[in-house]
Amino acid sequence: MGKKVLIIDDSSTMRKIVTRSLRQAGLDVGQILEAGDGQEALQLLAKEKVDVILSDINMPNMDGLEFLRQKGEISLLKNIPVVMITTEAGADVIGEAKSLGALGSIKKPFTADQIQETLSSLF
């Protein structure tokens, strides 16, 4: 049936690109849900169970790091794997994301191959 994936990014264009890349990567993706920021994602996660989360870091309202902080405090969400998809190349920001529970990161712009390589262990 495929994994249910949540894509969090304030750019609807980027959410479409990530969705297309996930499909092209040949991963076992079922349903794809979208949220425009961390706050919207937490509201969605209160109603929907997902298997994997792909999140941007720089977003209005609630950025990816604050999303990771709050997600980590909710026992039902704590163990959902998160991979950051970001333009942030800074090791400090990526390091902080990992310390907050992110499994890794994919740098924008990316290819379907990079998505496949980074996410294959989760599918």
At 53 the pLDDT is 98
Q: What is the CATH number of the domain that holds 60?
A: 3.40.50.2300
Edge-to-edge strands, sheet with 104-107: 29-35, 3-8, 52-55, 82-86, 104-107
Considering the chain, what percentage of its residues have pLDDT values greater than 70? 99
Taking each helix axis from N to C end, the angle separating 12-24 and 112-119, rounded to the nearest 10 degrees, works out to: 70
What are the pLDDT digits (tens) for 66-106? 999 999 999 999 999 999 998 876 789 999 999 999 999 99
Q: What residues form DSSP beta bridges with 86? A: 107
Rg (CA), the chain: 13
Give the count of domains, the chain. 1
At 54 the pLDDT is 98
Indicate whether 41 pLDDT > 80. Answer: yes
* Full domain range(s) for residue 116: 3-122
pTM equals 0.96
What is the mean pLDDT of the segment spanning 20-35? 96
Beta strand 82-86 pairing with 29-35 = unpaired
